[in-house]
Structures are given as C-alpha cells and as structure tokens.
Amino acid sequence: QLQSFITVTPELARQQAAEADRERAAGRLRGPLHGLPYGLKDLADTAGVPTTWGAGPYRDRIPDRDAAVTRRMRDAGAVLLGKTALGALAWGEVWFGGETRNPWNPAEGSSGSSAGSAAATAAGLCAFAIGTETWGSIVSPSERCGVVGLRPTFGRVSRAGAMALCWSLDKIGPICRYAEDTASVLAALNGYDAADSASLAHGFAYDGNEPLAGLTVGYDPVRLEHPHATESDRAAFEALKTTGAQLVELQFPALPWEVIGPILEVEAAAAFEDLVLSGRDESLRRQIANAWPNVFRAAYFHGAVDFVQCQRIRRLIMQELHAVFSQVDVFFAPADDDVTALTNLSGHPALTLRAGFEKVRGRAIDGVTEEDNTGPLHRVPDAVHLWSGLFREGALVNLARALEQELAPRWGWDSHRPQLG
C-alpha cells in the first residue's frame, strides 16, 4: 500500500540475521545496530542487488560492489531488508513503479526524495533507514511522515558508490523514529573515505547524559509568529523553555538562498549528461515542467558567468552562517524552506523532529494527483527543525531528545522507551 520498497531482499536479510544471531550468541557484539533490520535508499550500491535510482532507464542496473554506506552498515551488523523507494533520480516520491505514500494519510505522497526510507520507518517496516539529501530530501519526507531525519555535516559520511546528483551538495544520513537512534546510526556511518573526494576526517561525539544547561539555542520570534507557524510549533517552543538550555533571541539572516537552484541544476545536468544526450531521459515517468528531464535540458542554457556568481554568493553564505553559529550552538525554528536551502549550501547539519500533529487536507503528489481542497481533514505529523554549527550533530540529538521527552505526553505516547539497540 505504501510502495516504500523498490526491491526486497528476504534471502539476504535471513542470512544476515542468522549471522547476527550466531555472533551475539557467541558474545561478539558489533554495536547497537547489530541484528537490527534497516532499509537502504535505492541509490546506494549493493553488490548483486538491483540499485535502480528509482528511474526506469536504470531499473535493471545491478552493481558488482557495495557503496561505502552499505559496507559500513554491514560492518555494524545491521540487517538489510531491501532498497527503499526514491523519486526518480532523487526528486519527489514518484518512481518508475509507483508513488510512495504517507503512512498517516496514504492518499497523499510521503514527499521526497528519501520517500521510502521515511515512510517505511514511520510505518514500522524497519528499525531505521538511510536517506540522502541535496536540497531537502531527508528533512522533507521526515517532516511529512513524522520521523526524525538527521542531515549530517557535508563530508562527514562517504558517498562513494552512491548515485551522484550534485557533487557539492549531496549528503547521506539516518532516518529513525526517535532522535537518539540517529546518533547510533550516524556513529556507524561516520568516517573518512579516500574514495570520496569530499570526505572529511572528523570524529562523532554524542553524550546522552550531557546536561543542556550550557547549550545556547537561538530562535527568531518572527518565525514563530508567521501565519504558517502551527500550534505544534508553538508547543515545541514552550517545551524548549523547559529543557534547561539557554535561549537566545536571534534573527536568522535573510540571504539569497535561491542560488541553490542554478548550482543544483547545472551539476545534476552534468551528472546525467549521457541520459539527456542519448534521449533516454524521455523514458522517465514524469515529464512535467519541473521534473528532471526538463530541468536537465534547461540547464544547458545557464550562463557560465551566472554559475560562477552563484558559487561566489554561496561562499558569502557560508561565511554569514559561520558567524550565526558562532553565536549559538543550535538554531530552532518551524519548518523553513529558506533555512533548509541555506544550510544545504553551507554544509551545516540539520535535524527534523516531530513536534505534534495537525489536521490538514490531502496534499498533491506533483504531476500525479491534485490537492484535496474539499476532502476530509487528516491528522498528520507536524515538525520543527534544528540546525547547528559544523560537526555539532551531537548537540542536535541532545536537544531533540529532550524535546521528545517533553512533547511525547501531548501525543499520548510514552516518553521513556528502550533505546534502539
């Protein structure tokens, strides 16, 4: 019903599960992920298993080696259930075999492009999943499906063996049901890899017992008063006040986030040049104006000077955001497209956290369905976002965990629950 997996790997899963059972019985524990079933976004190579990128032209593609993230999950003892769906070539939730659905309202999509990873995790089909983000592909489906998405600092997780969409923006990170679980998964993913030219050697630290009294959290009152801010957003802010963190009123700078468009479009068109020049892009399922085929074709008309100027602006954005995060450890806000774009440009990490639930009408699947403007209201998740300085993911997880404990009773859920492992 959710169409969240493109390929299921039952034989491999049973084999890996049996191996995990044997190792645990012998006293060899690989870590908190040992024996846990997970889903892998179908753009990370898995030897001998189809890796389709969600796109018809590549539906029969079978790699002969594992991606770095596949290998690191195997080394951690995680059990691969299969390859989760993504919108074709990492855009949206529409892939060659269907449209991935939101478990809270299957009449609408799960957003994308880590559509299957978010939907499958939310529905309990796997313990966690791996997603990727270039512009919003972890945070958006995590928000829609009510799970926790952690987009790491650019360069922290190797992308070797994963489909390249935009070399200077692509990132890989975990999608889980609870905040602290993302720390366990990121710890396994983290590490330098010479096979990825953007890979950085930087340790990952998370201490769940660290008090929040020394943590500074920025917030912008204007964003909380915006017409799009919800009751759940405001409840999350009230919960933030009880965590012990030091709140700092801070206006997030208004910067030209729109430069992400030309940068992404030009790099993506270069990555898929052969697809366009061969005409195989015509076999992609969606051919609407803002779908990849037409975006790739239009990218050839971007001016070289304009592209360079966008990159120069991007450098200024990096400097401005470095100044912001020198003032606070974390910035808190309702879901915000401009900050999502800006922090993707700068490489800063982000965490999307379920804040509550709101009643909304069905949202369209772009190019497939229409907005359900007259239909019934559905109770679906609503999220807030946290952003931090480079390599400060531990602070994001710490604060998100504290917010969960404060907010869970409002949902009728138990805030004290076993850890992922």
Q: How distant, in Å, are the alpha carbons of 58, 162, 278, 280 from that of 283?
A: 10, 22, 11, 6
Q: How far apart are the first and last CA of the chain?
A: 28
DSSP 291: S
Give yes or no for a cis peptide into 117 (omega within 30° of 0). Answer: no
Listing from the earlier edge strand, what are the strands of the sheet with 216-219? 5-8, 79-84, 37-41, 128-133, 171-176, 148-151, 350-360, 378-388, 330-334, 216-219, 246-249
CA-nearest of 144, 118, 109 to 372 is 109
Q: Annotated catalytic, 41? A: yes
Length of the chain: 421
Contact in structure between 103 and 30 (CB atoms under 8 Å)? no
Can you tell me the distance from the alpha carbon of 7 to that of 10, in angstroms, rounded to the nearest whole number? Answer: 10
Catalytic annotation on 117?
A: no
Q: Alpha helix (H) ranges present in 244-331?
A: 260-271, 273-277, 292-299, 304-325
CA dihedral 112→114→120→122, nearest 10 degrees, is: -70
Residue 48 neighbours by CB distance under 10 Å? 11
Cα 408 to chain centroid distance, Å, stands at 22
Active site residue 140: no
CB 411, CB 357: distance < 8 Å? yes
- Collapsing DSSP states into helix, strand and coil, what is residue 207? coil
Point out the catalytic residue in the list 4, 110, 111, 113: 113
H or E element: which one contains 378?
A: strand 378-388
Cβ-based neighbour number of residue 188 at 10 Å? 21
- From the list 110, 111, 114, 137, the catalytic residue is 137
**Sequence-distant (≥ 6) Cβ neighbours of residue 14 within 8 angstroms:** none
Candidate list 4, 41, 114, 199, residue with the active-site label: 41
Catalytic residues: 41, 113, 137
